[in-house]
Amino acid sequence: MYFGSVRFFKRLIVSVVILIILALAILAIVLAVESGQKSDEIDRLTADKIILQELVNAIYELDENTFNDIAGINADDESSGSGRPFPLPSEPLPNPYADLYPHLYTDFKIPESYKDDTGYIYLTFDDGPSVHTEGVLRYLDKHGVKATFFVMPADTENGKRYLNTMLETGHEIGVHTMSHIYEEIYESVESFLGDFNEAFNLIYEQTGYKPYLYRFPAGSINNFNGHIRKDVIAEMNRRGFVYYDWNVDSNDANDANWSQMYFSVLEDVSNVNRAVILFHDGPGRSNTVTVIEDIIKALLADPRGFTFSTITRDTRPMQF
């Protein structure tokens, strides 16, 4: 046998084939010895290969026009080219809410960093103003404590007076709701914006102040807003508004009595490093007025040295 002869190449080919067969046989033995999971994995990979091959074959069988229709390619558009079968849209999709309430914006910008508010107490009051707001403001002023009011503005002289007193005495105002009717507010993003816009405009008309804070009626996670929650938050963020929930609940909305409110608030405050406390000063909340001074006095006397503050632009949001 001479090197380069036909016989030489025949034997070389046979030898290579035999080596391949031996290698496959050894691999099969090794895989067989290993766990059954390996065998299952091989079966799955084989099945996947078959499916992919069938898909490739189906694609090759499509005529050009059908393929272009599926891929979204305009045959007359040279810019699409073969390098991008699924071209990106040339312009972003329009915002469906951009034309609603074009003046409903604030100049709030998310800060680069938030202040260290460990040990801070944020008293927050929902649903006012009402006849009970005056008592709350009196006790806050008596002890030099500032608070944040998420309001349901009323188109009345007393409602206007309370809002202006809040701002003049150093408190902060945020939007809560105009109607507090959950089924209507959370029917759609448009419904939420409509309710918010009405409250926002009334606050501005009565005070000249444009609030940038808000609190969802019933909190940001509730039984009514699950289908629109993310879209509402995204749209409100785009308009410059920031929402705050709470991590301490006085339970005054559930008609808790003096001792229930007093001891639960103090206990819950001791379990967090900063406290955003939920109270209510709306109609029917006389229980809040009876207990608020005692809670303030207890927290001021606490040896941990709490700092009372309104929610400000550099306050890290408290969100569920």
| Domain CATH number, residue 143 | 3.20.20.370
Q: Are residues 154 and 302 in the same domain?
A: yes
Q: Are residues 270 and 139 in the same domain?
A: yes
Over its length of 320 residues, how does the chain's per-residue pLDDT go in tens digits? Answer: 445 554 554 455 556 555 665 665 566 555 555 545 455 555 554 555 455 455 545 544 555 455 455 545 454 554 444 444 445 555 667 899 999 999 999 999 889 999 999 999 999 999 999 999 999 999 999 999 999 999 999 999 999 999 999 999 999 999 999 999 999 999 999 999 999 999 999 999 999 999 999 999 999 999 999 999 999 999 999 999 999 999 999 999 999 999 999 999 999 999 999 999 999 999 999 999 999 999 999 999 999 999 999 999 999 999 99
Distance, CA of 124 to CA of 117 (rounded, Å): 16
Q: Please report whether residue 283 resides in a domain.
A: yes
> Which residues does 54 contact at the CB level (< 8 Å), separation at least 6?
none
Q: Are residues 213 and 290 in the same domain?
A: yes
Contact 307, 116 (CB under 8 A): no
The pLDDT value given to residue 23: 60
Residue type, 77: D
Q: Are residues 141 and 283 in the same domain?
A: yes
Specify which residues 149 forms β-bridges with.
125, 173
Domain extent, residue 17, equals 6-61
52-55 contacts at long range (C-beta below 8 A, 24 or more positions apart): none
The pLDDT value given to residue 75: 47
Q: Are residues 18 and 146 in the same domain?
A: no
Q: Are residues 45 and 193 in the same domain?
A: no
Q: Please report whether residue 191 resides in a domain.
A: yes
- Percent helix / strand / coil, the chain, rounded to 5: 45, 10, 45
Residue with tokens 């910008």: 109
Q: Are residues 276 and 162 in the same domain?
A: yes
Domain termination residue (choose one: 14, 40, 61): 61
Residue type, 232: V
Q: Which helix (H) or strand (E) holds 226?
A: none
Q: Are residues 29 and 126 in the same domain?
A: no
Neighbours of 267 (CB within 10 A): 10
The pLDDT value given to residue 262: 98
Distance, CA of 298 to CA of 240 (rounded, Å): 36
What is the count of structural domains for the chain? 2
